[in-house]
Structure 1
């Protein structure tokens, strides 16, 4: 922020994170709380300001939902967020809003090499797009495209594409998952609740996603089948999206679910399905894939957004271009 401080907010369906960007561009320690702890974002901001004593001049928000205008609805939570309303309520000037995975994509050039744990080797083309696929509460997708000056971020609702089967066995599995939903999207299976749905399809038992991972680590057959199926389908969807975005700059798996899976994340199943695209197998084999291991990466993207844009010339309540 050029002339003052800014509130950075990473707003998800499960958790919300606030941090202060100071006048020197440093990001303060984050405050993390359940999104459901407050009825509105305004109430959450007011509570944070009262608790910390911070009075930011501007705000930049990363929101888990499509950003198409002044009012943004979270995909997996009832909050509705108005940029102009926040500007009027708190005096923020400006209020910039972007999709949360788009913010992660924008952060990629500013993160250290150590933040990227290799999943699949390859050779990145620096002139091509980099793709972020983020399984968490939902399944977020965004891409970072090099431009003549700086970068352009392309948001996407790619997580809601229809999930396709690779073979007859997987088609039968998806039919079992489809029982309670006419449309079965990639997010339905590859976001965190989908891991529990997969386990239920194999076992008939309802347990939490964390319990699936623990059971897989203990060697339980249905849990291992569920995690293997999950990793294979995530690889297949990531490969499809890499082709759609021509992501020869590399694919980054973000979101907290793959990291929480630990040793149950089946890299071999993921890689096989990522490259299993017929005549485009060699194209995908050349694309490096990494797992993002960085705390609160959306904050770095929001800070870059504020740093890059001539904010003092913008009117309050403007949604950031992505």
Structure 2
């Protein structure tokens, strides 16, 4: 099969096309003929340091959509030719190839009418946002939510999901992305480059603060935002843990939720992996009937994936880039 491969840890401009043996699925697994695969920050991050379990040359690409091509022993829940989506295991070869293997329990059916490229924009970022907003923070209609990085993948989905839950959404972003983030559902957007985030949050909430934070930036940002929570509020940390020493013990009493999507494979059990399928199926249905914007900014062909990943590493991309097979 054709694949984009990484021969050793490095930057994504070192990816090269290669011909590799077409893989065969073992028990409980399926082979998927790849139609589309989303690009994610985890791709260039993993490329930089490698994964100990990788088979070299490695293949990146976690967010796969395609047609079930071959069934492994014992697989009965999906059928040949069925279009499915999945968030892959970071330890395995991914979707920047003609074929990819997957655990049958994580597969989600792609609804009729939802294009493969739009479906492939959802798994990593959408599942992370879903876990944060719906499963962990349980955002509701009386809540005020702060989302950092509202134009990014996770941030953009978090804004949409929180708004759909009826919450008031405050997002941080660069000023030129304000209109875009408001279209996603944010009620207010704070320019993180030119405004004092904490002061603006206090101003927008009449000094009260927020019920929940989805922090997509890192540990320093998450730590700073702990102090913006109301008593008993919650923070979902996507990119780095906050330092709880920043708030006095037994005062604000914040709940902190660490979002680690890939750990469903590394440390989770069968139930954890099934939940990936359930959540993704929900997101795909929402995208299919127009309740969720997949935020697909553009698609790229096979040969342009390395350059697009390098561009993504610059952290200036709005929405999602997806590889589409020719």
Q: Same fold (TM over 0.5)?
A: no
TM class by smaller structure: 0.3 to 0.5
Larger helix share, 1 or 2: 1
After TM superposition, the score normalised by the length of structure 1 is 0.34
Higher strand share: 2
Q: What's the TM-score, normalizing by structure 2?
A: 0.34
